[in-house]
Amino acid sequence: MDLVPVFSAALQYRHIRVADGAGFALGSVTEEDSSSKEAAIWSAPAAIETAAKKSPGLGEMEGEQHLGLAPNPTQHFITDACDSDHRLDWETDLASAMLVFSELKGGYLMPENTLTITDNRTNKTYMVPVENGTIRAVDLRQIKTGPDDFGLMTYDPAFMNTAACKSAITYIDGDKGILRYRGYPIEVLAERCTFLEVAYLLLCGELPTEKELKQWVYDITHHTMLHETTKKFMEGFRYSAHPMSMFVSTIAALSSVYPDARLVRSASDRMHQIVRLIGKVPSIAAMSYRHNVGFPYVYPDNDLSYTENFMNMLWKMVEPKYVAHPAIARALDILFILHADHEQNCSANAMRAVGSSEVDPYLAVASAASALAGPLHGGANEEVLKMLDEIGSKDNVPAYIKKVKEGHIKLMGFGHRIYKNYDPRAKIIRWSAEQVFDVTGRNPKLDIALELERIALEDDYFVKRKLYPNVDFYSGIMYQAMGFRPEMFTVLFAIPRTAGWLAQWQELMTDPEQKIARPRQIYTGYGEREFVPLDKRLPAPMPAAYPAD
Ligand code: CMC
C-alpha cells in the first residue's frame, strides 16, 4: 500500500488527532498484502499487541501477524485515535496512526505540509495540515487539557499574523514592494488602463474585451444620477461638515433609496448595486465638496469620461460645457487606479466583516469608508498636508524628524503594515506628480516632502523600522496641485476604493467557506458579581471625564 497518498487524502478531512501509541498500528498497514485499507485499520489493535511484545523494532513485524481478527481493543484504538466527540472516517484514523509511526521510524514517512505540535501540558502530539503557508486556527481546538477545556485558540490583536480569507484579487509582496491586481503589475495597469477598466478587472477577474468595456462604461455612466431626495438629504448637512462625513452618511442613506439591495444572495442583484455604487460615488463626493464651499450641485454629464465627469461635477461654474484638462484628468485616473484595491487593509476588512452579516452593500460600503476616514488609514493623506504646512520649510525638517524620533509625533505618510520597502504606488505618484506640475506649476510642498524623505531614508530610526513613504505621502501634494482642498483627499481615496471594497464583498459572498465574522476574545473581566445598590457603590477608579464646554 502506498501510504503517502492515503495520508494526503486523510489530511483533507482536517480532523486529525494523534493519540499516544496509535502509531504502533502502522505495523499492520504497511504490509503489501493488506486486503483493504479498512482491514488494515481494523487490525491495528492486533498490531499494537504484537508490537508491544516485539518492541521496539516495528520494522521487524511480520505482516500476517497483524492482519487477523480485530478484537475488542479495536474500539479502544478507534476512540483513542479520534477526536473524542467526533467519530472520524477511517482514513483520518489511519493518518493519525501513521504520524506516530513515522516519528518512531525517524520521521521518514512524515508528509510535507503538516505541522506537528506537542502540547507540553498533556504530553500529547497533534498534527495539523499546512496549506498556503497557514494552519487553520480551528485545527487547534482539538488541543485540550481535558474534556472541559474549550480547546486552544490563537490571540492576534490587530491581525498581525492572521489570514481571514482566501482572495484572488490583489497580491502584495511587502518586502519586494510588489503590488498586482489579478496578476497584473500596478505599474502596467497605471500606464495602460483607465480606472473603469481596472474596476472591471477587480470585480470580474479579467480585463474587459472592447465590447465588454463599452457596455461597462455605458452602464456606469448611466448610474451616476442621484435621486432628488438624496440631493435634499445632502442639503441638510451643516455648511462646515467634513466632506468625508457627508460621503459616508450619504452612502449609508442610499440603503433607504434602494431596498432591493438587500437581496445580497442574488448574483444579478449584487451586480446591479455594484454598478450603481461605482456610478454614484463620484456624484456624492462632488456634492459633498460643492456643499462645503456653498456652490450649487452640478448634475453628471454623460458625454464625459469617469474622471472628467467627476471634475465637471466639482468645478463647473457658469460655462455651458465643462472641459477638463486632459493631463489632469489622466493623472486623476491614474491616482484612482493606484487606490482601487489593497487587499485586506482596515477598510476592506470592515467591508468583509460588516458584509458578512448579509447587510446591503450601501451600509457595508459606508462602514468601509468610515474605516478609511481614520488618520492611520486613508485619512493620512489629509494629515500629510497638515504636517507639511506645520513644517513650513525645508530648514525645519531636521527638527521635525527629531520630534518624530522622540516619539512625540508620527511622520504621516510613512510606514505600512505590509510594505517594508518603498510603496510601489508612492513611486508612481512621484512620477505622475511631475506631469501634473508641468500643467499646474510645482507645489512648493514637494520640496519639503522630498527633504523629509531624504533625511528619513538615511536615518537609523526609519531604516531599522523599515519605514518608507506610503501612498499617502505624495498623493496629497498632487491633489493640492490639481486644485483639491485637503478635506477632499480622503474622499478622493474612497471613490476608487469603492470598486475594491465591492470586489472584496463579491468574493466574500461567493466564498462557501465564509460565515458571519465573529472573533473570539480572552475575557479578562470579573467573574459573576453581586449587584451593588446605588447607595452602596464606591467611586470608579477611572471616573468618566468630560471636556469642559
Ligand atoms: N512615524 C514614526 N514612527 C513610525 C511610523 C511613522 N509614520 N510608523 C511606524 N512607526 C514606528 C512605530 O512607532 C513602531 O516603533 P517601535 O517599534 O519603536 O514601537 C514601529 O515603527 C512599527 O510601527 P507599528 O505602529 O507597529 O506599525 P503598524 O503596522 O501597526 O502601523 C501604520 C502601520 C501605517 C498605521 C503606521 O506606520 C502609521 O501610523 N503611519 C502613519 C500613518 C499613515 O501614513 N497611514 C497610511 C498608511 S498607507 C495607506 C492606507 O492604508 O490608507
Would you state the cell numbers that stand for residue 151, as one nine-digit string?
Answer: 480547546
pLDDT of 111 reads 65
Check pLDDT > 90 for residue 513. yes
Check pLDDT > 80 for residue 53. no
pLDDT of 92 reads 52
Neighbours of 532 (CB within 10 A): 9
Task: Give the residue, by CA position, lying nearest to ligand 1 atom 42.
Answer: 376
pLDDT of 112 reads 74
Would you state the cell numbers that stand for residue 213, as one nine-digit string?
Answer: 468595456
Confidence of residue 541 (pLDDT cuts 50, 70, 90): confident
| C-alpha 446 to ligand 1 mean position (Å) | 22
Q: Give the phi and the psi of residue 540 in degrees, each rounded to 5.
A: -65, 145
Pairing type for strands 170-173 and 178-181 reads antiparallel
pLDDT of 547 reads 76
pLDDT of 99 reads 55
- Which letter does DSSP use for residue 421 in this model? S
pLDDT of 58 reads 34
Residue 515 lies inside a defined structural domain of this protein? no
pLDDT of 384 reads 96
Task: Give the residue, by CA position, lying nearest to ligand 1 atom 47.
Answer: 377
**What count of Cα atoms within 13 Å lies in the side-chain half-sphere of residue 435?**
15
Check pLDDT > 50 for residue 385. yes
Atom of ligand 1 nearest to the CA of 413: 44
Domain match, 30 and 106 both:
yes
User: CB under 6 Å to ligand 1: residues?
Assistant: 345, 376-378, 380, 404, 410-417, 465, 467, 470-472
56-77: pLDDT as tens digits:
433 333 332 332 323 333 334 4
| C-alpha 202 to ligand 1 mean position (Å) | 27
Instruction: Fill in the amino acid letter for 138.
Output: V
Domain match, 200 and 269 both:
yes
Neighbours of 326 (CB within 10 A): 11
Pairing type for strands 124-129 and 170-173 reads unpaired
Q: If we measure between CA atoms, which residue out of 142, 106, 120, 99 comes closest to residue 3?
A: 99
Kindly name the residue from 377, 447, 460, 511 that is annotated as catalytic: 377
Task: Give the residue, by CA position, lying nearest to ligand 1 atom 12.
Answer: 465
Cβ pair 250, 243 in contact under 8 A: no
Single residue among 458, 478, 498 that ends a domain in this structure: 478
151-170: pLDDT as tens digits:
999 999 999 999 999 999 99
Clarify whether 377 is annotated catalytic: yes
From 156, 170, 343, 417, the mutation candidate for ligand 1 (largest count of ligand atoms within 8 A of CB) is 417
pLDDT of 8 reads 44
Atom of ligand 1 nearest to the CA of 415: 37
| Residue 131, SS3 per DSSP | strand
Domain match, 358 and 502 both:
yes
Top-confidence range, 6-20, 48-62, 89-103, 190-204? 190-204
- DSSP sequence for 275-311: HHHHHHHHHHHHHHHHHHHTPPP----TTS-HHHHHH
* Mean pLDDT along residues 220-242: 96
Residue 414 lies inside a defined structural domain of this protein? yes
Clarify whether 472 is annotated catalytic: yes
Domain match, 246 and 290 both:
yes
Would you state the cell numbers that stand for residue 219, as one nine-digit string?
Answer: 452602464
pLDDT of 69 reads 28
| C-alpha 416 to ligand 1 mean position (Å) | 6
Confidence of residue 544 (pLDDT cuts 50, 70, 90): confident
Residue 308 lies inside a defined structural domain of this protein? yes
From 175, 412, 414, the mutation candidate for ligand 1 (largest count of ligand atoms within 8 A of CB) is 414
Residue 204 lies inside a defined structural domain of this protein? yes
Would you state the cell numbers that stand for residue 411, as one nine-digit string?
Answer: 511622520
Neighbours of 295 (CB within 10 A): 14
Residue 327 lies inside a defined structural domain of this protein? yes
Domain match, 75 and 123 both:
yes
| C-alpha 40 to ligand 1 mean position (Å) | 57
Q: Give the phi and the psi of residue 280 in degrees, each rounded to 5.
A: -90, -20
Domain match, 22 and 122 both:
yes
Domain match, 133 and 262 both:
no
The structural domain count of the chain equals 3
If one compares 127 and 29, the residue with the highest pLDDT of the two is 127
442-500: pLDDT as tens digits:
988 999 999 999 999 999 999 999 999 999 999 999 999 999 999 999 999 999 999 99
Cα 237–Cα 478–Cα 325 angle in degrees, nearest 5:
85
Residue keyed to cell 486552544: 152
Would you state the cell numbers that stand for residue 256, as one nine-digit string?
Answer: 433607504
17-27: pLDDT as tens digits:
333 333 334 43
| C-alpha 24 to ligand 1 mean position (Å) | 52
Instruction: Fill in the amino acid letter for 283.
Output: S
Neighbours of 221 (CB within 10 A): 18
Cα distance between residue 143 and residue 240, in whole Å: 56
Domain match, 102 and 47 both:
yes
Cα distance between residue 412 and residue 157, in whole Å: 23
* Mean pLDDT along residues 209-228: 98
CATH of the domain at 497: 1.10.580.10
Domain match, 490 and 418 both:
no
From 156, 376, 490, the mutation candidate for ligand 1 (largest count of ligand atoms within 8 A of CB) is 376
Task: Give the residue, by CA position, lying nearest to ligand 1 atom 16.
Answer: 465
Cβ pair 80, 8 in contact under 8 A: no
Task: Give the residue, by CA position, lying nearest to ligand 1 atom 15.
Answer: 465
| C-alpha 476 to ligand 1 mean position (Å) | 18
Domain match, 292 and 253 both:
yes
Domain match, 366 and 224 both:
yes
Pick from 3-12, 153-162, 165-174, 397-406: least confident = 3-12
Confidence of residue 540 (pLDDT cuts 50, 70, 90): confident
Confidence of residue 545 (pLDDT cuts 50, 70, 90): confident
Kindly name the residue from 93, 341, 423, 472 that is annotated as catalytic: 472
pLDDT of 16 reads 31
Task: Give the residue, by CA position, lying nearest to ligand 1 atom 30.
Answer: 417
Domain match, 127 and 246 both:
no
Task: Give the residue, by CA position, lying nearest to ligand 1 atom 49.
Answer: 377
Burial class (CB in 10 A: 0-12, 13-18, 19+), 229: exposed
**Residues comprising the chain, all counted:** 549
| C-alpha 466 to ligand 1 mean position (Å) | 10
Task: Give the residue, by CA position, lying nearest to ligand 1 atom 50.
Answer: 377
Residue 27 lies inside a defined structural domain of this protein? yes
pLDDT of 488 reads 97
From 410, 423, 491, the mutation candidate for ligand 1 (largest count of ligand atoms within 8 A of CB) is 410
337 to each of 288, 326, 427, 544, how far by Cα in Å?
A: 22, 16, 14, 45
From 467, 471, 473, 475, the mutation candidate for ligand 1 (largest count of ligand atoms within 8 A of CB) is 467
Pick from 33-37, 224-228, 421-425, 430-434: least confident = 33-37
3 state SS for 42-61: HCHHHHHHHHHHHCCCHHHC
Instruction: Fill in the amino acid letter for 498.
Output: T
301-346: pLDDT as tens digits:
999 999 999 999 999 999 999 999 999 999 999 999 999 999 999 9
Task: Give the residue, by CA position, lying nearest to ligand 1 atom 2.
Answer: 410
72-93: pLDDT as tens digits:
333 344 334 444 444 444 445 5
| C-alpha 469 to ligand 1 mean position (Å) | 11
pLDDT of 94 reads 54
Atom of ligand 1 nearest to the CA of 372: 52
Q: If we measure between CA atoms, which residue out of 482, 497, 463 comes closest to residue 377?
A: 497
* Mean pLDDT along residues 252-276: 97
Alpha helix stretches (DSSP H) within 318-359: 326-339, 346-355
pLDDT of 546 reads 75
Cα distance between residue 310 and residue 336, in whole Å: 12
Atom of ligand 1 nearest to the CA of 417: 29
Single residue among 154, 174, 203 that ends a domain in this structure: 154
Would you state the cell numbers that stand for residue 149, as one nine-digit string?
Answer: 477545556
* Mean pLDDT over each residue of the chain, to the nearest integer: 85
Task: Go through 430-458 and write b for each residue having 16 or more CB atoms within 10 A of its CB, e for each that does not.
Answer: bebbeebbeebeebebbebbbbbbeebee
CATH of the domain at 429: 1.10.230.10
Would you state the cell numbers that stand for residue 402, as one nine-digit string?
Answer: 527629531
| C-alpha 106 to ligand 1 mean position (Å) | 46
Residue 71 lies inside a defined structural domain of this protein? yes
pLDDT of 55 reads 40
pTM: 0.83
* Mean pLDDT along residues 360-389: 97
274-298: pLDDT as tens digits:
999 999 999 999 999 999 999 999 9
Residue 522 lies inside a defined structural domain of this protein? no
Single residue among 461, 478, 495 that ends a domain in this structure: 478
Residue 128 bridge partners (DSSP): 115
If one compares 85 and 361, the residue with the highest pLDDT of the two is 361
Task: Give the residue, by CA position, lying nearest to ligand 1 atom 11.
Answer: 465
| C-alpha 429 to ligand 1 mean position (Å) | 20
Confidence of residue 98 (pLDDT cuts 50, 70, 90): low
What range does the domain containing 141 cover?
A: 7-154
Alpha helix stretches (DSSP H) within 346-488: 346-355, 361-372, 380-391, 397-405, 424-440, 445-458, 460-464, 471-482
Check pLDDT > 90 for residue 34. no
Kindly name the residue from 66, 223, 339, 416 that is annotated as catalytic: 416
